[in-house]
Structure 1
Amino acid sequence: MKNTHITILYLVISLFFLAEAILSFNHYSFSGYYTDKIINWIWLAMTLFMVIWFWRKRIIKIYFVLLAFTVLLSMLPMMIPFFALVNYFSTLDDYQQIQLDGTYRIERTRPNVLHRPQIFVYKKEGIIEKSIYKTPYLFVVEKVFQDHFTNDIEGENQSIQKARLVKVTKDSIGIEYEITNKKSVFYHKEKEAPEL
């Protein structure tokens, strides 16, 4: 009976984990920055517990080998999928999260090892939120300073001091950014801005 309860709990957690992964592929996530990370870590801890608790069962040994094999395979193509998994489970390269109001929030982050820092704008829709705009952070920095940094890396390393929601339309969202005591309004317009 105890084993049945543990198995059901693991299946429920796995369903949340799977739902989160499916949402992520469609530019959605559960509402809040840490929600996805907490679900990931609970699933990982519960998976380790299940493997240890039911190790004598053949199906668990097969499951463990499949998970280990998947992680090892992700390291083969220059370790890019592996680092994507690491970023998905951790807060690595997530530089800032700013709540603009009850509906909108932004993240200054690097989605994976091959990307430069980006600004993601999220819109809360009940218990989930959608990534509605993605913009290279350098575009925001250049707008705030009205010229190009001599060193792009230096510009991307400047943190946002403050961000304030200015205007929302059906085609854009205006956010006033303050970086190193300089302010400017940046309008995020394109759903998927070009990569840098």
Structure 2
Amino acid sequence: MKNTHITILYSIVSLIFLTEVILSFNHYSFSGYYTDKIINWIWLAMTLFMIIWFWKKKIMKAYFVFLAFTILLSMLPMMIPFFALVNYFSTLDDYQQIQLDDTYRIERTRPNVLHKPQISVYKKEGIIEKGIYQTPYLFIVEKVFQDHFTNDIEGENQPIQKARLVDVNKDSIGIEYEIMNKKTIFYHKEKEASEL
């Protein structure tokens, strides 16, 4: 009876985890920055617990081999899928999170090892949120300073002091950024996602 309850609980957590993975492929996630991270870590901890608890069963040994093999395979192509997994489960390369209002928030982040830092704008829709715009952070830094930094890395490392929602249209969102005590309004638009 106890094993049945544990298995049902693990199935529910796994279903929530899989829902989150499917949502992320469509630029959605559960609302809030830490929600996905908490779900990931609960699933990982429960997976380790299940493997240890049911280790004598052949199916659990096969499940463990499958998970280990998947992680090893992700390391083969220059470890890019592996680092994508690490980024998905951790806050690595997530530099800042700013809540603009009850509906919109932004993150200054680097989605994976091949990307440069970017601003991701999220819109809350009930218990989920959608990533609606992704803009290279350097575009915003250049707009704030009206010229190029002599060193792009220096520009990308400048933190956002403040961000304020200014305007929301059907095809763009205006946010006032303050970086190094300079302010400007930047309009995020759909086309920027293709420029990444």
TM-score range for the pair, normalised by the shorter chain length = over 0.9
In the other structure, the counterpart of 1:194 is 195
Query: C-alpha distance in 1, partners of 2:190/2:14?
Result: 34
Query: C-alpha distance in 1, partners of 2:100/2:116?
Result: 23
Kindly indicate whether the alpha-carbon contact (under 8 Å) linking 1:105 and 1:121 is maintained by their aligned counterparts in 2: yes
1:35 is the counterpart of 2:35: yes
Query: C-alpha distance in 1, partners of 2:150/2:113?
Result: 23
Q: Deviations over 1:107-157 (max 9, x none)?
A: 000000000001000000000000000000000000000100000000000
Task: Give the letter for the 1:34 counterpart.
Answer: Y
In the other structure, the counterpart of 2:4 is 4
Runs of 4+ in structure 1 deviating by more than 4 angstroms, as ranges, are none
Instruction: Provide the secondary structure at the position in 2 that maps to 1:74.
Output: helix
- Residues 67-146 of structure 1 correspond to what in structure 2 (within 5 A)? 67-146=67-146
Task: Give the letter for the 2:108 counterpart.
Answer: R
Query: C-alpha distance in 2, partners of 1:193/1:165?
Result: 23
Q: Shift of the alpha carbon at 1:60? A: 0.2
Query: C-alpha distance in 2, partners of 1:62/1:51?
Result: 10
Q: Deviations over 1:44-80 (max 9, x none)?
A: 0000000000000000000000000000000000000
CA RMSD of aligned residues (A): 0.6
Work out the percentage of aligned pairs sharing the same amino acid.
85
Query: C-alpha distance in 2, partners of 1:184/1:118?
Result: 17
Query: C-alpha distance in 2, partners of 1:70/1:171?
Result: 39
Task: Give the letter for the 2:154 counterpart.
Answer: E
Gaps of 5+ in 2: none
Q: Shift of the alpha carbon at 1:190? A: 1.7
Task: Give the letter for the 1:73 counterpart.
Answer: L
Kindly indicate whether the alpha-carbon contact (under 8 Å) linking 1:103 and 1:123 is maintained by their aligned counterparts in 2: yes
- Residues 175-186 of structure 1 correspond to what in structure 2 (within 5 A)? 175-186=175-186
Kindly indicate whether the alpha-carbon contact (under 8 Å) linking 1:166 and 1:175 is maintained by their aligned counterparts in 2: yes
Q: Shift of the alpha carbon at 1:193? A: 4.1
Instruction: Provide the secondary structure at the position in 1 that maps to 2:55.
Output: coil
Task: Give the letter for the 1:162 counterpart.
Answer: K
1:157 is the counterpart of 2:157: yes
1:14 is the counterpart of 2:23: no
Kindly indicate whether the alpha-carbon contact (under 8 Å) linking 1:29 and 1:130 is maintained by their aligned counterparts in 2: yes
Instruction: Provide the secondary structure at the position in 1 that maps to 2:71.
Output: helix
Aligned pair count reads: 195
Query: C-alpha distance in 1, partners of 2:36/2:10?
Result: 17
Task: Give the letter for the 1:7 counterpart.
Answer: T
Query: C-alpha distance in 1, partners of 2:35/2:103?
Result: 16
In the other structure, the counterpart of 1:26 is 26
Task: Give the letter for the 1:137 counterpart.
Answer: Y
Kindly indicate whether the alpha-carbon contact (under 8 Å) linking 1:75 and 1:81 is maintained by their aligned counterparts in 2: yes
TM-score by length of 2: 0.99
Instruction: Provide the secondary structure at the position in 1 that maps to 2:39.
Output: helix
